[in-house]
Amino acid sequence: MRLTALAAATAILLSALPAQAAWKEYVYEDLGVAKYFPVEPKMAKGTWGQGIRLPLSKIVPSTVLTAVDNGVTYKVTVVDFSARAAEGANIMGEAFSSLAGRGEVVSEGFPRLDLGANSVYGLALTVDEKAGNHTTSAVFFNKGKLYIVQAIAPKDSPARFDAGIGRFIETIRFHLQGYGFDEKIGHDFPLGDDDPGDRDLGNNRPRPQN
């Protein structure tokens, strides 16, 4: 009887807890990016630079992907600078500086994605914004496009400690076809192959022993 009551109580408790997000990768070939979200994101057209001072970038149309889960807003902004690709380093630096100027910088980092010859380097920071948000952002510039990846939570909310924030910032890739590089085994591998023990190593594949 006691075990039955305990099982029933546990079931009730579990049903009251929020459902765990089922993270899934969404591929946007036209935007040149693949990104994991906890729930399906909504796509909208926006404007990068509106309401902020960006003398170099100015005001440019953008595409914005947004999802909300467990009190955190997950957002990717893609701005097409294809006609100004040579200015990419400065455009990315300006975007990073504008994000840092929104409040107190809590931390900074230097993410590297896709690895090997396909590496894409970026800048990351977490800011307690004057507007009241705790925002973690990563900024990249790749193949003529500026990417701003953000996880936003109220800075006084427990949501700012959500494990999904770190996961969101890290799960992005730009090399949508071809190969990446596994530093542990020292070889290229097909992107999307998550099993290092079952990768096509080409001429480097171990040969069966006689």
**Which residue is listed with tokens 């023990």?**
197
Amino acid, single-letter form, for residue 24: K
Three-class DSSP category at 103: strand
Distance CA 154, CA 134 (A): 6
pLDDT exceeds cutoff 70 at 97: yes
CATH of 21-199, one of 2.40.33.20, 3.10.20.30, 3.40.1000.10, 3.10.129.10: 3.40.1000.10
Q: Is 171:165 a contact under the CB 8 Å cutoff?
A: no
Handedness of CA 201, 113, 50, 158 (dihedral sign): positive
CA distance 182 to 187: 6
Q: Are 206 and 187 in contact (CB under 8 A)?
A: no
What distance in Å separates the CA atoms of residue 102 and residue 120, rounded to the nearest whole number? 25
Q: How far apart are CA 178 and CA 174, in angstroms?
A: 11
Token pair for residue 183?
A: 């530093």
Torsion angle of the four alpha carbons 180, 186, 187, 188, in this order, in degrees rounded to the nearest 10: 10
| Largest Cα span, the chain | 73
Is there a contact between 64 and 28 (Cβ–Cβ < 8 Å)?
no
Report the pLDDT value the prediction gives residue 7, as an integer from 0 to 100. Answer: 39
Segment 174-191 shows an average pLDDT of 61
Q: Could you identify the residue written with the tokens 């400690």?
A: 161
DSSP H or E stretch at residue 121: strand 120-129
pTM value is: 0.77
pLDDT, one tens digit per residue, over 28-45 is 999 999 999 999 999 999
Give the SS3 label for residue 116: helix
Segments making up each domain of the chain, as ranges = 21-199
Amino acid symbol at 50? Q
Please, what is the Cα angle at 41 between 35 and 44, to 5 degrees? 105
Q: Is the pLDDT of residue 76 over 90?
A: yes
Q: What percent of the chain has pLDDT over 90?
A: 60
> What confidence tens digit (pLDDT) does each residue in 102-148 have?
999 999 999 988 777 778 999 999 999 999 999 999 999 999 999 99
